[in-house]
Amino acid sequence: MKADKPTTEAYQRLVKRKAPRPPLLRNVIWAFTVGGAICAVGQVFLGFFLLRGMPLREATVPAAAVMVGLGAFLTGLGVYDEIGKRAGMGAALPITGFANSITSPAMEFRSEGLVLGVGARLFTIAGPVIVWALAVALVVAAVKTLVAGPTGG
Amino acid sequence: MATRKNGQTMRFASPPSILATVSVVGPREGQGPMSGWFDVVKPDRLLGQKSWEKAECKMVEEAVELLMTKSGVRRSELDFLLAGDLLNQIISASFAARTIDVPYFGLYGACSTIAEALALGSALIDGGFATNVCAVSSSHHDTAERQYRFPTEFGTQRPPTAQWTATAAGAVMLGPRGKGKLEVTHATIGRVVDNGMKDPFDMGTAMAPAAADTIAAHFRDTGRDPDAYDFVVTGDLGAVGQPLADELLKKQGVNLEDRFIDCGKMIYDETQDAHAGGSGCGCSASVFAGYLAKNLEQGKFERILLVCTGALHSVTTYQQGESIPGIAHAVSVERSG
Amino acid sequence: MDTVTGLGLSSFAKAFVVGGAICVLAQLTLDLTKLTGAHVMVLFVVLGAIVSGFGLYEPLIAFAGAGAAIPLPAFGHALVAGTLKGAAERGFIGFVSGGLTATATGLTVAILFGFTMALVFRPRG
């Protein structure tokens, strides 16, 4: 039986009254601390490449790549999900979280084989991120080029 | 022939006995408040298997093996196996049935499956189609997680309404009247109730209206009062869903007060990071087969109403924006007179 | 424009605070809406691309270093910057290929490591 609209709305009001709220302050503190700490670690690698004389724009690339490797490795060790369940977006939003989103399904679906398991499922979460980022970036760049003329970024 | 059905409720003329119950659970459940009541606690969630799915299947096989030993029902005497689980195409149940090798009904009622199996099994015995029937259902945290949500190593945060799928299997051997200490007297078969809830991380809220609907139907059909029962035990409404069901029942004039308990709230404690509580076909099955059945056997409880609740959505339906339909089946279990 | 010059103490403080603050914005989005973590990740990458379009992300990296370069919006920014750079240097072909060229290192490392980890480790649940 699908409830009629009044029943549904009355139930939604009841649910809203009783629903537990996420511990917002605790989540925010965790997200800030862990997210900040991950970025500070990233700053170590960024500093390393800057000190080797790379310009900032170039140095961010290998620094991010090292962090990706680190995130993937911590996922492999089974540590990253433990961090993530407390730190929430503090662990998911840094690029280490992107690495986690690729490594975790790759590991999980290893039991379905190397091609259709690991190969296909690797992009379960990262796929949407890449697709959306690329699509929006093309639109943004096109608009910017039309409005301001070719700028070279 | 006079019908033995009133409304949604079947009354068994010759109530089938519960000959034995078995629960097999994972390590987390074995550390919880129910730990002393389980028959087997596994030290790891893989059970020495190569995949989570194989591990869940193995749990079902072990539970049924042990159940046959405990009940003294040999394979040749077991007429039907009624089994189900959460996975697509109920693979844990069907693959275990391949090993157990007796005539098999595969059931899907999501987390309500064990009550559905007990109701149908009792009907088969009372109807004269079977002497011994095994009812079993299972769930596994990691098989459910990868099917319904995210890979297990994905570092995501669970909202406070989320429930933890129990790694557990519960099995019940039903037999002829008078052969066991407990009997199944009534079964109330639930309607599918959908109040338009859509959040797959809030199953309790989605299932609570179905639970209230079935419980109210049971009292209406049987003419019983809540005080006929020591406990009305829902399957896995959890800390969020159970108060909602309680509220919905009060609006219909059914006041359960502290008779109303929930397996999902009982299987873990607050330190176990299970948020709103346990869930899964194995949650109510193992708590019934362990804590509830054993307390009934020992005479600490006289009669309980087991109301197992299920959320009947799939990943496809919620991604397509459909709401989550709920179901609840109730079975009345009491000490033989 | 003040640029990050390496391992000074203030560069770590800026990375920590700005990186942490971006994560807090994402956390608030997660907790105050019905979006899942995956949705929030997509949203913030898209936001990074849009902010980059207004020319604001590059200065943020110059100020906060890894604090802006490590959170996912930087991926959206890198795609936009790469696309614009490609377009300026090589016209339409550069416009099409510039985004992925700029992000190729990170993506390749992510795919390679993800694949390797799946071969080496088993999920522990």
A133 and A98 together in one domain:
no
The ipTM of this complex is 0.93
As a residue count, chain B comes to 337
Whether residue A25 is found in the same domain as residue A67: yes
Average pLDDT of chain C to the nearest whole number: 93
pLDDT of residue C95 exceeding 50, the answer is yes
DSSP B189-254: PPPPBB-----TT-HHHHHHHHHHHHHHHHHHHH---GGG-SEEEESS-HHHHHHHHHHHHHHTT-
pLDDT at A153 over 50: no
Domain ranges of chain B: 5-175, 184-335
pLDDT band at C11 (very low <50, low <70, confident <90, very high): very high
Q: What is the percentage of chain B residues whose pLDDT exceeds 70?
A: 99
CB of A89 within 8 Å of a chain B CB? The answer is: yes
The answer to whether position A9 is within a domain reads no
The CATH superfamily holding the domain B5-175 is: Stage V sporulation protein AD (3.40.47.40)
Nearest CA to CA, how far is B18 from chain A (Å)?
Answer: 33
> Residue range B219-223: average pLDDT?
97
Instruction: Write out the residue range of the structural domain in which residue A45 sits.
Output: 18-122
What pLDDT does residue C5 have? 53
Assess whether pLDDT exceeds 80 at residue A63. yes
Task: Write down the pLDDT at residue A133.
Answer: 97
Number of domains chain A is built from:
2
Confidence band (pLDDT; 50, 70, 90) for B2? low
**What is the pLDDT confidence band of residue B169, given thresholds at 50, 70 and 90?**
very high
Q: How confident is the model at residue B331 (pLDDT cuts 50, 70, 90)?
A: very high
Is residue A8 in a domain? Answer: no
pLDDT over 60 (residue C6): no
Of A18, A21, A84, the CB nearest to B155: A84
Q: Give the pLDDT confidence score for residue C2 in this predicted structure.
A: 43
Contact of C33 with chain A, judged by CB distance below 8 Å, is answered with no
A103 CB within 8 Å of a chain B CB: yes
Q: Residue C32: what pLDDT?
A: 94
In a domain, A1, yes or no: no
Tell if the CB–CB gap between A140 and C20 is shorter than 8 Å: no
CB contact under 8 A, C125 and B199: no
Mean pLDDT score, A136-146: 95
Output the DSSP codes for A84-101: HHHHTHHHHSBHHHHHHH
Tell me the one-letter amino acid at B35. S
Residue with tokens 């051997």: B173
Band of the pLDDT at B207, cuts 50, 70, 90?
very high
Chains in contact with chain B (at least 3 beta-carbon pairs closer than 8 A):
A, C
Nearest CA in chain B to C41: B156
Q: Domain coordinates of chain C in residue numbers? A: 9-120
Q: How far is B38 from chain A (nearest CA, A)?
A: 28
Residue A13 lies in a domain: no
Token pair of A153 as six digits:
């970024």
CATH superfamily name and code, B184-335: Stage V sporulation protein AD (3.40.47.40)
Residue of B142, B150, B157 with shortest CB distance to C125: B142
Whether residue A36 is found in the same domain as residue A53: yes
The 3 state secondary structure assigned to C61-75 is: HHHHCHHHHCECHHH
Structure tokens at C85: 């750079």
**Cα of A85 to nearest chain B Cα, Å:** 4
Residues A135 and A112 occupy one common structural domain = no
User: Chains that contact C by 3+ CB pairs under 8 Å?
Assistant: A, B
The percentage of residues in chain C with a pLDDT greater than 70, rounded to a whole number, is 94
Q: Over range B7-13, report the average pLDDT.
A: 97
DSSP character string of B59-127:
HHHHHHHHHHHHHT--GGG--EEEEEESSGGGHHHHHHHHHH-S-EEE--BTBTHHHHHHHHHHHHHHT
Confidence of residue A151 (pLDDT cuts 50, 70, 90): low
Co-location of A28 and A85 in the same domain: yes
Q: Does C56 touch chain A (CB under 8 A)?
A: no
Cβ–Cβ under 8 Å, residues B99 and B118: no
Residue B334: how many CA atoms within 13 Å on its side-chain side?
13
Confirm whether A5 is domain-assigned: no
